[in-house]
Structure 1
């Protein structure tokens, strides 16, 4: 065999391997919830709970989540010692930050507050410093009035930083308490500089479906062109009524700290079908070139109430009016094309 043929055979083999790496079937995690995936520099970082704390894994493909590296374990006897929920990894001004919710104990889960970790270096799988609890109440500096808060996420908009989360209107003795979405301006990822502002509460028929407990939670920022969306979950996470909706910033110049600046969708934007039992708490990522968009979400494994969940991923597009078109959850038997991971 000539040198040219050897080269062609090698090239064909490399192409076949590369193509094979693109394809996958759901779920991408057999067991998991509240998935958070972020792309930076062609690498995908998955942040989640595990190994007694919070883990971060690295991959060259969002559909191939690697083994997590433990980056933080809570100490004993502190406000954040137990009930660590839904961590998120964010990049801001040269450092990585992890938001998480935690509390003294539960059930009932009435002590949940938001905490932040800051990376020591620019390595997201390295050491982190605990920056403490975030104030999520109505009167800045009055820590005894801090409020229940979970699922905090970051939004940068027009040169300003904002925190967005799910919280309670007041402190309660039961976790059977309605959850709303709040926003506050921040000077850095651990410091709010304005009192919280209510921007959404479960007040539409589709948000109230299930009837047990009205909630808005899991807010995620999705930007595309001049549009800014907050995609959130509603309809009870333990039921098959769990679904996604969104708030849309009225215009690029609208003030995010005003409730009237946010327009709520008049219908769900992603919900269960014959292949799923409720869908929710999504995150979003793109191909390394930014041209292809993917939604990563969890769904219940069975129709009965509970939190036995798995993580799935599929591609989505944007409509001509700028709104995201998530389509429907795809058949888990369907072979899907993801990111090849080739450099």
Structure 2
């Protein structure tokens, strides 16, 4: 496929890496995502998005032998804050679900943790564990993302609340530093629409894009098969982002499965940009619906990217997942880094 100006040349950009996070810093794309074995945090980099698949992948942190960071390492995100690198990740002390209080939905035992590296190059230096983020209560918590808006750092994440039906809701808080909250958690959205409650009652995987005087907060909902879909909250830049009234929730999903292009379960996105500043939507999806065994252990959720256009009123035009141009695996085998 020939290069088209202002586009991403090939998809998927990285095979078998779900929950993709891409950060463009000083002209380089840094990539991380969930490893199919859920036992490590990996990092790769390239000058172009389409070169990330062939880039060397480095393990920057591995799970503990036991304790709260020993199982199911999920959805790491890399961020740059005040001259240092931070990875937010979810980890659990075991690999089975629990019911913390009578009547609550069964969940895993994840909590949110932070790694810090103060070196200029995140592939060098030391990744230091800054510990668990105290979100205000102990329950299933995951998918933390960081965003700095008008000089203020916020954490946005998913967590279970025992007085709200379902597995997870989306929360926001201002941060005192990259591993400590400065304000109580505020819930912005919970599963309520039919498309958010298929298989599981879930709002998770938040990501934030600031553009054109507005703040766009995406999230994913339902179980992780073909029903997985992306939703949207919108606030005005300059409004109180800790006030739920500042946010408008779209009643319909903004990105869903599209059998016409063979893409199923798009979600858990992040945002990056092309060299000229054009926004790019990064997300994962599968190319089939017949999943053998537990979908959690199916490795073929691939990281994908496509330009996110905006209309003349400044609204994102989400469209539909683009078709693949890179061959993808259909077996359950986990590929080596750079495979295929």
Alignment deviations for residues 14-67 of structure 1 (CA, whole Å, 9 cap, x no partner): xxx9999x8733222231200110101110000134484111111001122112
**Of residues 222, 226, 230 in structure 2, which corresponds to 1:240?**
226
**Of residues 235, 238, 245 in structure 2, which corresponds to 1:253?**
238
1:122 Cα deviation after fit: 1.8
Work out the number of aligned pairs and report it: 303
Asked if 2 retains the 8 angstrom alpha-carbon contact of 1:120 and 1:129, the reply is no
Residue 147 of structure 1 pairs with residue 139 of structure 2: yes
Runs (4+) of structure 1 exceeding 6 A deviation are 17-20
Matches within 5 A, 1:313-332: 313-332=305-324
1:84 Cα deviation after fit: 0.7
Aligned-residue CA RMSD (Å): 2.5
* TM-score (normalizing by structure 2): 0.83
Q: Which runs of 5+ in 1 are unaligned?
A: 1-16, 138-144, 336-343
Give the 3-state SS of the residue equivalent to 2:275 in structure 1.
coil
Matches within 5 A, 1:88-237: 88-108=77-97, 110-126=108-124, 127-137=126-136, 145-170=137-162, 177-208=166-197, 210=198, 212-237=199-224
Match of 1:142 in 2: none
Asked if 1 retains the 8 angstrom alpha-carbon contact of 2:12 and 2:325, the reply is no
Structure of greater Rg: 1
Does the C-alpha gap of structure 1 residues 157 and 301 become closer, same or farther in structure 2, counting only changes over 3 Å?
same
CA distance in 1, matches of 2:311, 2:281: 15
Q: Which runs of 5+ in 2 are unaligned?
A: 98-106, 328-340
Alignment deviations for residues 72-122 of structure 1 (CA, whole Å, 9 cap, x no partner): 123222211111100000000000000000010112153100000000312
Residue 32 of structure 1 pairs with residue 17 of structure 2: yes
CA distance in 2, matches of 1:120, 1:42: 19
CA distance in 2, matches of 1:23, 1:102: 32
1:200 Cα deviation after fit: 0.3
* TM-score (normalizing by structure 1): 0.82
CA distance in 1, matches of 2:248, 2:89: 27
Matches within 5 A, 1:35-46: 35-46=20-31
Match of 2:250 in 1: 265
Does the C-alpha gap of structure 1 residues 323 and 265 become closer, same or farther in structure 2, counting only changes over 3 Å?
same
Asked if 1 retains the 8 angstrom alpha-carbon contact of 2:279 and 2:309, the reply is yes
